[in-house]
Amino acid sequence: MSDDSRPSLTGGRPGTPVAAVIPAAGRGVRLGPGAPKALRTLGGTPMLVHAVRAMAASRAVSLVVVVAPPDDTAEVKSLLDAHALPERTDVLVVPGGETRQESVKLGLDALPPGHEIVLVHDAARPLVPVDTVDAVIEAVRDGAVAVVPALPLADTVKQVEPALVAGAPEPVVATPDRSRLRAVQTPQGFDRATLIRAHGTVTDDVTDDASMVEQLGERVVAVPGDEEAFKVTRPLDLILAEAVLARRRLNDGF
């Protein structure tokens, strides 16, 4: 291992190969009935294919590990064979688990040696621009062990005492200072060894990988995210995603 490949706040590690793990094994319950979310189409192409292409668009990414719905692994493999990706990018498909956290862990277990920087990217964020991917990679290469793309919030946020019955009025407990809050997206970027240690140590339920690294007491930093990296969660998000794609196609024939 050359000195270049060790994390350091001053030297960084330019040129370190990057792998991306894409958890895509969720059902998409909030989107309503239908195929698993990652297999639903946007502009005629499965969401997962958009997400894989978004990672492969970065010249630094040489491997993408897709964590597929366990019953659809074969279908996902043939889907990815049928859709063109850059020559430089290898793709692996592995079956996922019951939770996002388990799925990411299964993706990490499948990583071959040689990629010391790992991105974790939700299949449900199909339209993240390559500039965001590259900004995250650059911050890890510059020495951060964990990097999240993040945006300021548009809405004021209230902390409440959650009602026991859905729809009942909920007492407001506090209003955090919005200027100090960020909405966090993916891809999140990590020093591989740190992320693997986090997944081997932290057992609490979490909704992102960076929070596991925080629990280790390691420093996580935020870089600017992008509005187009939004997560497709509910039906309205599909309409927004279709509109973003249509605009891109109009602008550059993509």
Query: Which residues are at the interface with Mg ion (CB under 5 A)?
Result: 26
How large is the angle between the packed helices 47-56 and 130-141, nearest 10 degrees? 50
- In the complex, least distance from residue 251 CB atom to ligand CTP, rounded to whole angstroms: 26
User: Which partner in Mg ion, ligand CTP, none is near 27 (CB below 5 to 8 A by kind)?
Assistant: ligand CTP
Position with the least CB separation from ligand CTP = 26
Q: Which two tokens stand for residue 170?
A: 């909920």
With contacts defined by CB under 6 A, name the span among 19-27, 83-91, 128-136, 191-199 that binds ligand CTP.
19-27
211 binds ligand CTP (CB under 6 A): no
- What beta strand segments (E) does the chain contain? 18-23, 41-42, 45-46, 61-68, 90-95, 117-120, 146-152, 159-160, 172-174, 182-184, 188-191, 221-224
Minimum distance, C-beta of residue 39 to Mg ion, in the bound complex (Å): 15
Asked if 100 touches ligand CTP (CB under 6 A), the answer is yes
Interface pick for ligand CTP out of 40, 93, 115, 122 (rule CB under 6 A):
122
Query: Which residues, in sequence order, are CB contacts of 235 under 8 Å at separation 6+?
Result: 31, 32
210 binds ligand CTP (CB under 6 A): no
**What are the b/e assignments for 120-133, b being 16+ CB within 10 Å?**
bbbbbbbbbbeebb
Whose Cβ is closer to Mg ion: residue 33's or residue 44's? 33
Nearer to ligand CTP, 138 or 151 (CB): 151
Q: Please list, in sequence order, all residues whose beta carbon lies within 8 angstroms of the beta carbon of residue 39, skipping any fewer than 6 positions away.
A: 46, 47, 48, 69, 72, 75, 76, 79
- Based on the shown chain and the rule CB under 6 A, indicate whether residue 97 belongs to the binding site for ligand CTP: yes
Q: Is 13 in the site for ligand CTP (CB under 6 A)?
A: no
Assess 149 for contact with ligand CTP (CB under 6 A).
Answer: no
- Residue closer to ligand CTP by CB (options 12, 96) is 96
